[in-house]
């Protein structure tokens, strides 16, 4: 740790992550010395390690905070049922007298017995499994941040964190938990009704666990690719990754917000969604500029300007959706804190994982391009591309001539 203290370390990490531009990233002498001792001597390799250190430190903090929020805001299914029922009764009748409270409590006891305490415990178990996965992921992220100068070890811990945090909810989503529930105390008709009720509730719970992780894959991957573009602007691969994710992300984003939008339509939610959809399309609109190799001088003009435009739409869209979500009656302050912590932790975790993976793929692509240019495959591929280009299949944009046809 630097002698300037934790506060300066945090500020430096925030500055590095917010800019994410390797052309202007400075590595401290103490960091250079430590990296050199570990065999990392190249200038840009040290810059990448220093940037990665900032991501890991903030990501580890976000993961730990996420786990703390999950524990602090945890509410069992039975307790949530009781709370929502009491709130509904109070909204309908005003303040409840002792007799009314007893009646509500009796109804709640009947509902719990009908649903089955063990069945509700299974639903709570799903939440605890995911919470435990967050704890394990947080530990792995702390280990990755702690061993940041040991490249191979740090990358390994970051991969472990990604697999645990991301794969656990998807694995849970594939398990039919209602098949393990006991409905022997119910009749045939009641069993069908209760199974559907618990299944839909559990499905909604799993959706809320999976959705933030799935949604962060796209913006984090796009940010990773554009960040690596500032380090190796000569490579077109980061631009291709952005071009592939940019048109796909809006579809998943609309799908994720559709449920809330239909339950409680809000102009802020709609405008925020439009802004978030436009943000990745900025890269697609400037596809011709992003897809080609760049010089180092062009990084601050072409790449940086596209990132700034997308950032503006992302900030406006995020703020509008945040205000709309806070107005939702069924969305508590605890839910807001849990979602914010989940999104932040997932975003930083995906960023470091995607950057490590993409950097390795960029090298493989670079090595294969050299081998490909010297092989017999180039002539045959050129012949096929010539035929496809003649028909217009390889054009990114439809020409005026093609439009007239």
pLDDT digits (tens, 9 = 90+) for 366-395: 787 777 776 777 777 788 888 888 887 777
The residues, any chain, with a CB within 8 Å of residue 24's CB and separated by 6 or more, are: none
pLDDT digits (tens, 9 = 90+) for 331-367: 666 677 777 888 888 999 999 999 999 888 888 887 8
Euclidean distance between CA atoms 291 and 288, whole angstroms: 6
Element holding 252 (H helix, E strand): helix 249-263
Element holding 192 (H helix, E strand): helix 188-231
Judged on CB neighbours under 10 Å (0-12, 13-18, 19+), 92 is: exposed
54 half-sphere exposure, CB direction, 13 A CA radius: 24
pLDDT of residue 404: 44
pLDDT digits (tens, 9 = 90+) for 284-340: 888 777 888 888 877 778 888 888 888 899 889 888 877 776 666 656 666 777 778
Euclidean distance between CA atoms 223 and 250, whole angstroms: 15
Element holding 268 (H helix, E strand): helix 267-285
Q: Biggest alpha carbon distance in the chain?
A: 88
What six digits make up the tokens of 104?
Answer: 């509500």
DSSP state letters, 90-107: HHHHSS--HHHHHHHHHH
pLDDT of residue 203: 80
Q: Is the dihedral of CA 349, 355, 358, 360 positive or negative?
A: negative
């Amino acid at each position: 740790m630097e002698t300037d203290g934790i506060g300066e370390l945090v500020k430096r990490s925030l500055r590095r992550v917010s800019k994410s531009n390797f052309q202007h990233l400075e590595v401290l002498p103490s960091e250079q010395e430590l990296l050199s001792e570990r065999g990392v001597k190249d200038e840009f390799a040290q810059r990448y390690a220093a940037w990665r250190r900032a991501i890991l430190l903030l990501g580890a903090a976000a993961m730990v905070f996420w786990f703390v929020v999950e524990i602090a805001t945890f509410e069992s299914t039975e307790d949530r049922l009781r709370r929502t029922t009491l709130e509904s009764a109070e909204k309908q009748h005003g303040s409840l007298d002792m007799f009314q409270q007893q009646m509500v409590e009796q109804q709640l006891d009947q509902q719990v017995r009908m649903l089955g305490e063990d069945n509700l415990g299974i639903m709570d178990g799903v939440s605890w499994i995911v919470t435990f996965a967050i704890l394990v992921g947080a530990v792995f992220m702390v280990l990755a941040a702690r061993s940041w100068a040991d490249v191979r070890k740090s990358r390994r811990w970051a991969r472990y964190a990604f697999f645990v945090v991301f794969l656990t909810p998807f694995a849970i989503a594939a398990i039919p938990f209602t098949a393990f529930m006991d409905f022997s105390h119910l009749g045939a008709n009641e069993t069908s009704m209760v199974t559907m009720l618990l299944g839909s509730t559990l499905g909604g719970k799993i959706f809320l666990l999976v959705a933030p992780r799935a949604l962060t894959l796209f913006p984090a991957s796009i940010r990773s690719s554009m960040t690596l573009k500032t380090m190796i602007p000569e490579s077109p691969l980061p631009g291709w990754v952005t071009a592939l994710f940019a048109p796909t992300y809006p579809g998943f984003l609309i799908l994720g917000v559709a449920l809330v939008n239909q339950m409680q339509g809000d102009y802020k939610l709609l405008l925020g969604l439009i802004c978030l959809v436009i943000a990745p399309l900025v890269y697609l609109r400037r596809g011709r500029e992003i897809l080609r190799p760049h010089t180092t001088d062009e990084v601050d003009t072409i790449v940086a300007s596209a990132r700034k435009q997308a950032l503006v739409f992302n900030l406006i869209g995020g703020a509008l959706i945040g205000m709309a979500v806070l107005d939702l009656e069924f969305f508590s302050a605890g839910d807001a804190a849990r979602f914010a912590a989940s999104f932040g932790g997932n975003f930083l975790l995906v960023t470091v994982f995607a950057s490590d993976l993409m950097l390795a793929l960029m090298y493989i692509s670079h090595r294969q391009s050299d081998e490909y240019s010297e092989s017999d495959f180039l002539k045959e591929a050129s012949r096929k591309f010539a035929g496809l280009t003649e028909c217009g299949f390889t054009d990114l944009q439809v020409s005026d001539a093609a439009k007239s046809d």
